[in-house]
Amino acid sequence: MKNVKGVILMLLIVSFVGCSQTHQARKAGEASGFLGDYSLLQEGEKGEAQLRYVNPDADFAAYDKVIVDPSAVWCSKDSKIPQDELNNLASHLHYKIVARLKGDYEVVQTPGPGVMRISAALTEAKKSKVGLDIITTIIPQAHLMSGLKRLATGTGAFVGGASVECKITDSNSGEMLAAAMDRQVGGKALKGSTKAWNDVEQAFEHWADQLIQRLREARAKKGY
């Protein structure tokens, strides 16, 4: 009987390892003020940012260079995360964005023709509660309870998460080309669950991947 239980536990662990690292929260984070005008944002479709705007006249194929501003921290004053940790996370977000863009664009520092500017801000960051996160991932009854919590609230138990706001502008004119808000939370995957900031780092991976994917789609036609 003990061997059977051990096998079942191992199968559960393997299945959880394959779970998504993050998933989109039910609602976008609160507007931080970073984007300025939020009136243009509309709800995104499945697989897109929760709130988004794309200038219908923007010709993304005209841009082959990009300025990536250092990612800013626009978290609420009520955030209990030390400022140095938030700054480190913002630097990590900036690194992920630049790393994804380098294969498709020349990353430059000076505005000019064919240069767009990408600015992103971290507006929320929450650590996972490592011990409890692992327990509610590998123990079936606890995992079930976490799943019920996710159904009710959109977020699993004891996971981390982050919110971001991003805008793309023409580097010369400052014209808004696109903007977005999104919030990602941990997906109860065992991989990386021993790191308190893993869910946030995986959210950065997701956003960087989504950014380059959307830009590639946009370059294939005028606008989205």
Local structure of residue 131 (DSSP, 8 states):
H
Above 50 in pLDDT, residue 88?
Answer: yes
Per residue in 117-147, pLDDT (tens digit) is: 999 999 999 886 444 444 445 445 444 444 4
Confidence at residue 171, expressed as pLDDT on a 0 to 100 scale:
98
More confident residue, 6 or 211: 211
Tokens representing residue 150 in the block: 């996710």
Confidence at residue 222, expressed as pLDDT on a 0 to 100 scale:
58
Query: Taking a C-beta distance cutoff of 8 angstroms, is the pair 107, 57 a contact?
Result: no
* In the block, residue with structure tokens 């200038």: 55
C-alpha 182/C-alpha 24 separation (Å) is 8
C-alpha 22/C-alpha 168 separation (Å) is 24
Above 90 in pLDDT, residue 6?
Answer: no
Confidence at residue 146, expressed as pLDDT on a 0 to 100 scale:
44
